[in-house]
Chain A
């Protein structure tokens, strides 16, 4: 296990470095926006990764509700946490890109608001997990995850109508709009690199959670087998 992990980690590191080079140096500079446009190579893959992770969380939560498998729950919490991390990256890199290009840090259009809402929903999920004193926290959290994910299309639809009535900064036609294949390549490389990185981090978090589950089970068994003389009875 250990050795596989190290090899995969090194591979991912290599992939990330190569993708970084592609995005920062090799890809051609965009005409209208200039160098700043390169943020795109980090921003978009992070967004896609975050959404994929939340999708996996949704699936894992449903599986947990159906089967009560601890592995499903471990996967759920792992993908939620790492998803929030990636979503934070999206919400930070977005405004950093918007400011020099459009002159504004933020706008309440459909996509940005949906991302912010997604972030808020999963943060509330993590807070619920942390503050719940019930023995059945995973069940409750899984239910919340189902609600949360089902909410996302509503957020998107609601915002699309709401904000299309107001002037919007128009998204550029996309550098992949038939323009330069090297840009598409840089984007795909970064996508692959961040996917690999996300998988690695989720795996780490997953193993931590499984270890914690085993540990708590062992603790409970110990308490049962050796009743503590000091316990207030």
Chain B
């Protein structure tokens, strides 16, 4: 089987399992909602101000929700010794990584799609810049979080306090991407700021780190 075939089979399996159980998406949704509500206690912004801070709040909420999904990325595989089977099989390791990353991407993207209208309502947001730019940023940003997150989740499988270890190693390295996504979102919402620079930074970040992930995933898979 080719890389593409294995990837899609693996991805289809994950999506099917998730659709049946819906545990990841439910916890993510609830978590994101909680973050939004809690943040609303800290600020009581006018529509003007909320445009400036909403970018930050939105991405923090999505980041934490994504971690919920990422933490369980490999849990299922561990329970059923799938990783051992995969290691022994001739299937290319990257197929597993890509399918997991794309699966996570879909979960987080669904979450973002569901939460975005809620954000607009809670913070009385109306974007000054064109809305399609927000979608572009969302895609690039989500991939940045999810690609590295899936990879780091694999790295933290055999560590004590695994659920804490993942954010601990993921967050510092994601900070430039976080800065870029927040700044880009704010730039779009407020209509001022260097939107293009941040998008370029996100693209470069995505390309560089996805490449590194693909190069090193096999090493990590065999190291577990």
Contact = CB atoms under 8 A, between A and B. Distances in A.
Interface of A: 65, 117, 120-121, 124-125, 127-128, 131-134, 136, 139-140, 143-144, 146-148, 150-151, 154-155, 157-159, 161-162, 165
A154 B176 contact: yes
A41 B175 CA distance: 30
Interface string B134-165: 00000000000000100010011111110001
B201 interface: yes
A117 B193 CA distance: 24
Interface stretch (B41-49, B51-59, B204-212): B204-212
A146 B159 contact: no
- In this complex, the member of A65, A146, A147, A155 whose beta carbon has the largest number of chain B beta carbons within 10 angstroms is A147
Consensus secondary structure, chain A interface:
helix
B28 interface: no
A158 B201 contact: yes
Interface string B188-224: 0000011001100100110011001000100110011
Contacts of B117: none
The 10 A-B pairs with the shortest beta carbon distances in the complex, nearest first, are A134-B158, A154-B176, A136-B223, A139-B223, A120-B172, A158-B176, A121-B172, A158-B179, A124-B169, A131-B160
Contacts of A158: 175-176, 179-180, 201
Nearest to A127: B168
- In this complex, the member of A131, A133, A155 whose beta carbon has the largest number of chain B beta carbons within 10 angstroms is A131
Contacts of A140: 155, 220, 223
A124 B209 CA distance: 18
Contact of A161 (B165, B173, B197): B197
B183 interface: yes
Nearest to A128: B169
A128 B193 CA distance: 37
